[in-house]
A and B are shown apart, each in its own frame.
Chain A
Amino acid sequence: MKGWNWDGFFEYLTNTYILEGAAVTLGLTIAAMTLGVVAGCVVALMRMSPFRILSNIAYFYTWLIRGTPLLVQLIIIYTGLPQIGIKFSVLEATLIGLVMNEAAYLSEIIRSGISSVPKGQSNAARAVGMTDVQMMRYIIAPQAARIIIPPLGNSVNGCLKTTSIASIISMEELLRRTQVLIQEKFMVLELFVVAALYYLLMTTAWDLIQRRIERHFGRGYDIKADAAEQR
């Protein structure tokens, strides 16, 4: 039995190689979520479109992506597709896989958020002369956001951890770099605990950010908080 090595643990806690890996994880999450929200909006609007063909395409897309594991998708994109002449770099393959997944899950979250805004709101927005785009931007989206943020926050939290799956196609993120160091130094427990702590740090930071966003979009729904703000 080797026992726990405190010196090793603290050394890796501030190791720049690991820190860079954490930064890549963070970057992947930000990129995947940002692009995923945009693509998810498109899929959600297609799904809600009165044109059958658009909504069928959107349905098929979410069915396909949500019905297969990200791990399998990544391997197909990175390892499988070159067989038919389509080649992506590790980073490209990772981003494509993550964004495709986020878009599929987020589109359902966004769709439920938009559906939750009462019909009267769109009538009222139209009645003052807003165009559909203005109505979406000033009236529907801010109200849908209040419903969307909690499950969206879940997705961000999930995405921070899901990026680790990309280590399988040798994406140099936090988990991959931890494993590389383990193979050199054999401090298995210390290094995995360091990695776990970094994930925990990032998810905790997101928790705090999410709470602020929720407070922002909760304006007008909490009588006590609104009254305090007006004082």
Chain B
Amino acid sequence: MQPMIVLEDVDKWYGKNFQVLKSCSLTVSPGEVVVICGPSGSGKSTLIKCVNGLEPVQGGHISVKDMEVTGPRTKLPKLRSHVGMVFQHFDLFPHMTVTENICIGQTRVLGRTQAEAEAKAAALLERVGMSDHARKYPIQLSGGQQQRIAIARALAMDPIAMLFDEPTSALDPEMITEVLDVMVELAKEGMTMMVVTHEMGFARKVADRVVFMDGGEVVEDTPKDEFFASPKSQRAVEFLSKILDH
């Protein structure tokens, strides 16, 4: 089967001296859910932002389905319209209502009519349990609600894969579940997902593989059961003991 996301020997530097990503390689097959974890500063957020070209890379190559991400002639806007992304701080458009947030990409990028876009938005709001909030502005919503809207905004583009960059890290504990529930459901429906997260419960439940990063390197890339039962590297053992023992 043709892989959905391929990263090959990706190198990235900030400035001349600091290398954030060191020859990172990983492959995500269609329908697969891959969780990326690791200590802060390990480069995992940077790595996921490279997949849709939000961060440029200096070496290696990246492709999504049959589209090259790296390379001079890539039409990044076109590629990004096929890949959904959810951010740590939600980044909803504050000057637009919930419905407008979900419609803007559909109408301006995909060229759907306003009516089509609004129908899609209504269906997605229903799905993430936010139908009552369609006309509100982001400022009127809690963090968990905003993140569910952000997921709906990404799904509205009918993405072939979804990228999640620490989607629950900025949330109060009681709101994490409502976001994870939506993500679990999405995973079960067969969405291809790359998820940077510390939520090991989520990883246990739906991940196919866990990628462990440290110091800009992919240290481990293993099926989830193996990762939790017997991590190969000492660094992963230490990391797991820190985030699981409390």
Contact = CB atoms under 8 A, between A and B. Distances in A.
Contacts of A3: none
B95 A220 contact: yes
B108 interface: yes
A115 B86 CA distance: 23
A219 B137 contact: yes
Contacts of B140: 223, 226-227
A39 B81 CA distance: 33
B165 to A, nearest CB: 9
Determine the interface band of chain A, counting residues with CB < 8 A from chain B.
Answer: 20 to 34
A154 interface: no
B91 A123 contact: yes
Contacts of A211: none
A66 B120 CA distance: 51
A65 B228 CA distance: 65
Contacts of B89: 120
B157 A220 contact: no
B139 A146 contact: no
Given A129-B81, A142-B95, A120 B87 contact: yes
Interface stretch (A93-101, A131-139, A198-206): A131-139
B80 A128 contact: yes
Nearest to B52: A127
B91 A146 contact: no
B94 A138 contact: no
A217 interface: yes
Contacts of A128: 80-81, 104-105, 109, 153-154, 157
Interface residue SS majority, chain A:
helix
A89 to B, nearest CB: 43
A230 B140 CA distance: 12
Interface in A105-154: 118, 120-121, 123-131, 134, 138-139, 142-143, 146
Contacts, number: 84
B105 to A, nearest CB: 3
Contacts of B93: 121, 124-125, 139, 143
Most A-side CB within 10 Å, residue of B137, B153, B157? B137
Contacts of A130: 77, 105, 108-109
Nearest to A131: B77
Nearest to A120: B91
Contact of B80 (A126, A139, A221): A126
Contacts of B84: 127
A167 to B, nearest CB: 41
Contacts of A127: 52, 54, 80, 83-85, 87, 154
B39 to A, nearest CB: 23
A220 B99 CA distance: 13
B104 A221 contact: no
A129 B157 contact: yes
Contact of B91 (A121, A129, A219): A121
B136 interface: yes
Contacts of A226: 136-137, 139-140
Interface in B94-133: 94-97, 104-105, 108-110
Nearest to B107: A138
Contact of B95 (A125, A134, A217): A217
B138 interface: yes
B135 interface: yes
Contacts of B136: 226, 230
Contacts of A146: 95
B232 interface: no
B78 interface: yes
Interface in B50-76: 52, 54, 76
A101 B119 CA distance: 49
A120 B170 CA distance: 14
Contact of A220 (B76, B79, B139): B139
B92 interface: yes
Contacts of B49: 123
Given A129-B79, A129-B81, 12 more contacts: A118-B91, A123-B91, A126-B76, A128-B105, A128-B154, A130-B108, A130-B109, A131-B77, A143-B93, A143-B94, A146-B95, A223-B139
9 contacts: A118-B91, A121-B91, A128-B81, A128-B104, A129-B110, A130-B109, A131-B77, A134-B109, A138-B108
Interface of B: 49, 52, 54, 76-85, 87, 89, 91-97, 104-105, 108-110, 135-140, 150, 153-154, 157
